[in-house]
């Protein structure tokens, strides 16, 4: 059976926001059918249980219960979620570490279309998203100021200290994360997505196929683009287009 529309619920305590959002979804996202628009977390919970949506646009900061608490109060989350929030450094860091779908207020058209398209493709492929489980784990870690990232694995979730990541390597539409203890963790994310997850962690893209943790950089070997050697002896190529940024970063850090 071919899916025609994503049955969608909007949850935001600001009535104006849900009204504007409904209009924008109607104009730019023909695959969306808004089945309910809720202006409180309590009403949102009731509508989710009653209507069993495919997708929920969820505001984070709401009175009585925030968006995270709303989700955690459900017995089962069998729908996609796109978080909508004003700028919140703490929440955005958690979203990036988890590759969770989110939009910043005020929402622009391009970001809205891209987020809906990403969800549509996931639903069409019948891919089970583990992003919420990872997000909740990351929120817990970040609250305690522990610099870890939750990486989904075939049999659960691996909690990895960011400082223990040596580098990440592209493998088609997947990425392998290499750790200092020799462990390798395959992720069903592109290197671009992993780069975005680690955007605030000072990692450096040295090649279309490699993202490194400069804390483990041992040596830079000059050449057309050159090579880098990491603490464990691994050598990786540097593309010519990334060479200047690498040299600039090394000079700044005194390496």
Nearest to 54 by CA among 72, 32, 87: 32
Q: Is the pLDDT of residue 156 over 80?
A: no
Lowest mean pLDDT among 8-17, 72-81, 105-114, 137-146: 137-146
Residue 65: per-residue pLDDT: 85
Tokens of 125: 């492929």
Q: What is the pLDDT of residues 183-201, one digit of tens each?
A: 999 998 899 989 988 877 8
More confident residue, 238 or 244: 238
The percentage of residues in the chain with a pLDDT greater than 90, rounded to a whole number, is 47
Does residue 36 belong to any structural domain of this protein?
yes
More confident residue, 160 or 9: 9
Give Cα separations from 71 to 50, 68, 101, 200 (angstroms).
15, 5, 14, 26
Residue 189: per-residue pLDDT: 87
Residue 200: per-residue pLDDT: 74
Nearest to 101 by CA among 213, 2, 189: 189
- Cβ pair 150, 97 in contact under 8 A: yes
Q: Is the pLDDT of residue 43 over 90?
A: yes
Residue 8: per-residue pLDDT: 98
Residue 232: per-residue pLDDT: 94
Residue 1: per-residue pLDDT: 46
Instruction: Give kind and range of the element (H or E) at residue 211.
Output: strand 210-212
Q: What is the pLDDT of residues 218-228, one digit of tens each?
A: 998 887 678 99
Alpha helices in 150-207 (DSSP H): 191-197
Residue 141: per-residue pLDDT: 62
Instruction: For residues 10 and 132, state if they share a domain.
Output: yes
Looking at the 3D structure of the chain, how many domains does it have?
A: 2
Mean pLDDT of 100-120: 89
Q: What is the C-alpha separation between 98 and 123, in angstroms, rounded? A: 18
Instruction: For residues 96 and 164, state if they share a domain.
Output: no
Q: Is the pLDDT of residue 34 over 90?
A: yes
Does residue 249 belong to any structural domain of this protein?
yes
Instruction: For residues 125 and 152, state if they share a domain.
Output: no
Nearest to 1 by CA among 124, 129, 128, 127: 124
Nearest to 221 by CA among 253, 248, 241, 246: 246
Instruction: For residues 129 and 162, state if they share a domain.
Output: no
pTM above 0.95, yes or no: no
Range of the domain at 119: 6-136
Q: Is the pLDDT of residue 2 over 70?
A: no
- Cβ pair 67, 60 in contact under 8 A: yes
Instruction: For residues 114 and 206, state if they share a domain.
Output: no
Mean pLDDT of 20-43: 95
Q: What angle do CA 28, 113, 43 make, to 5 degrees?
A: 80
Instruction: For residues 34 and 123, state if they share a domain.
Output: yes
Instruction: For residues 154 and 240, state if they share a domain.
Output: yes
Q: Could you check whether the bond before residue 106 is cis, i.e. omega within 30 degrees of 0?
A: yes
């Amino acid at each position: 059976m071919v899916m025609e529309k994503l049955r969608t619920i909007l949850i935001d305590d600001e009535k104006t926001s849900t009204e504007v959002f409904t209009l924008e979804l109607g104009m730019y996202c023909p695959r969306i059918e808004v089945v309910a628009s809720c202006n409180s977390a309590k009403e949102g919970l009731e509508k989710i249980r009653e209507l069993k949506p495919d997708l929920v646009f969820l505001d984070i900061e709401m009175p009585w219960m925030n968006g995270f608490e709303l989700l955690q109060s459900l017995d089962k989350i069998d729908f996609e979620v796109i978080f909508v929030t004003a700028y919140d450094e703490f929440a955005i860091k958690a979203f990036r570490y988890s590759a969770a779908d989110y939009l910043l207020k005020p929402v622009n058209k391009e970001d809205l279309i891209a987020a809906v398209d990403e969800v549509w493709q996931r639903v069409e492929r019948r891919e089970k998203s583990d992003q919420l489980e990872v997000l909740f784990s990351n929120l817990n870690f970040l609250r305690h100021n522990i610099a870890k990232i939750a990486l989904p694995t075939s049999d659960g979730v691996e909690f990895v200290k960011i400082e223990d990541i040596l580098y990440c390597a592209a493998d088609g539409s997947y990425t392998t994360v290499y750790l200092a203890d020799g462990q390798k963790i395959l992720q069903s994310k592109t290197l671009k997505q992993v780069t975005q997850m680690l955007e605030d962690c000072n990692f450096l893209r040295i090649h279309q196929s490699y993202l490194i943790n400069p804390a483990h950089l041992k040596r830079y070997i000059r050449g057309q683009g050159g090579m880098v050697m990491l603490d464990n002896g691994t050598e990786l190529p540097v593309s010519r287009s990334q060479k200047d940024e690498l040299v600039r970063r090394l000079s700044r850090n005194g390496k």
